[in-house]
Homo-oligomer: A and B are copies of this chain.
Amino acid sequence: MGEFCPEISGVLMADTFFCTSITIEHLHFNFGAFKTSAQIMPNLPGIEEIAGDFGGDFFKPLLICDANTEYLAVKIRGNAAIPVCTLEAGESHKDWQAVETILRNARDAGLGRDGIFIGVGGGVIGDLAAFAASIYMRGCSLALVSTTLLGMVDASLGGKTGFDLFGVKNLAGTFFPARHVYMPMESLATLPLPEWKSGMAELIKTAILDSDNFLEDIASLIAVFPDGSFSGGFPPDFASRILAIGTDLSRCISRAVRFKGAIVEEDPLETGNRRVLLNLGHTFGHALEAAAGLGTISHGEAVAWGIARSCDLALALGVCPPQRAERIRALLAAYGYETASPHPLMNSGAPGAFIQALGSDKKKRGGNLSFIVPGEKSAQAVKTAADSAAAVPAASDSFMDTISQIIGI
Per the bound structure, the CA–CA distance linking A104 and B165 in Å amounts to: 9
A103 proximal to B (CB < 8 A)? yes
A128, chain B: closest CB distance, angstroms: 13
A96 proximal to B (CB < 8 A)? yes
The interface bits of chain A over 226-242 (1 if a CB of B lies within 8 angstroms of the residue's CB, else 0) are: 00000000000000000
**8 A Cβ contacts from A164-219 to B:** 165-166, 168, 170-175
**8 A Cβ contacts from A128-154 to B:** 134-139
- Contact A112 to B162, CB < 8 A, known contacts A96-B100, A138-B174, A172-B136: no
The interface bits of chain A over 93-136 (1 if a CB of B lies within 8 angstroms of the residue's CB, else 0) are: 00010001001100100101110000000000000000000111
Q: Determine if A172 and B113 form an interchain contact, defined as CB atoms under 8 angstroms apart.
A: no
A360 proximal to B (CB < 8 A)? yes
A7 proximal to B (CB < 8 A)? no
Task: Count residues of A near B (Cβ-Cβ below 8 Å).
Answer: 43
A3 proximal to B (CB < 8 A)? no
Q: Determine if B137 and A362 form an interchain contact, defined as CB atoms under 8 angstroms apart.
A: yes
A10 proximal to B (CB < 8 A)? no
A33 proximal to B (CB < 8 A)? yes
Q: Determine if B362 and A134 form an interchain contact, defined as CB atoms under 8 angstroms apart.
A: no
Instruction: Write out the residue numbers on chain B whose beta carbons fall within 8 Å of the beta carbon of A361.
Output: 112
Copies of this chain held together in the complex: 2
Per the bound structure, the CA–CA distance linking A173 and B367 in Å amounts to: 29
Q: Determine if B113 and A171 form an interchain contact, defined as CB atoms under 8 angstroms apart.
A: no
- Contact A171 to B134, CB < 8 A, known contacts A58-B367, A112-B364: no
A258 proximal to B (CB < 8 A)? no
A32 proximal to B (CB < 8 A)? yes
Per the bound structure, the CA–CA distance linking A270 and B112 in Å amounts to: 14
Q: Determine if A138 and B168 form an interchain contact, defined as CB atoms under 8 angstroms apart.
A: no
Instruction: Write out the residue numbers on chain B whose beta carbons fall within 8 Å of the beta carbon of A114.
Output: 364-366
Q: Which residue of B lies closest to A361 (CB)?
A: B112
**8 A Cβ contacts from A33-84 to B:** 33, 57-58, 60
Q: Determine if A139 and B175 form an interchain contact, defined as CB atoms under 8 angstroms apart.
A: yes
Q: Determine if A134 and B104 form an interchain contact, defined as CB atoms under 8 angstroms apart.
A: no
Per the bound structure, the CA–CA distance linking A44 and B171 in Å amounts to: 32
Q: Which residue of B lies closest to A170 (CB)?
A: B138
- From B107, B139, B168, B174, give the contact of A360 (CB < 8 A): B107
- Contact A165 to B103, CB < 8 A, known contacts A366-B57, A367-B58: yes
Per the bound structure, the CA–CA distance linking A359 and B109 in Å amounts to: 11
Per the bound structure, the CA–CA distance linking A170 and B139 in Å amounts to: 12
Instruction: Write out the residue numbers on chain B whose beta carbons fall within 8 Å of the beta carbon of A364.
Output: 112-114
Max chain B C-beta neighbours (<10 A), residue from A96, A161, A171: A171
A176, chain B: closest CB distance, angstroms: 9
Per the bound structure, the CA–CA distance linking A135 and B96 in Å amounts to: 12
Instruction: Write out the residue numbers on chain B whose beta carbons fall within 8 Å of the beta carbon of A113.
Output: 362-365
Pairs A–B under 8 Å by Cβ, sample size 28: A58-B366, A58-B367, A96-B96, A96-B100, A103-B171, A103-B172, A110-B360, A112-B361, A112-B362, A112-B364, A112-B367, A113-B362, A114-B364, A114-B366, A134-B174, A135-B135, A135-B162, A135-B173, A136-B171, A136-B172, A137-B171, A137-B173, A138-B161, A138-B170, A138-B173, A138-B270, A138-B362, A139-B269
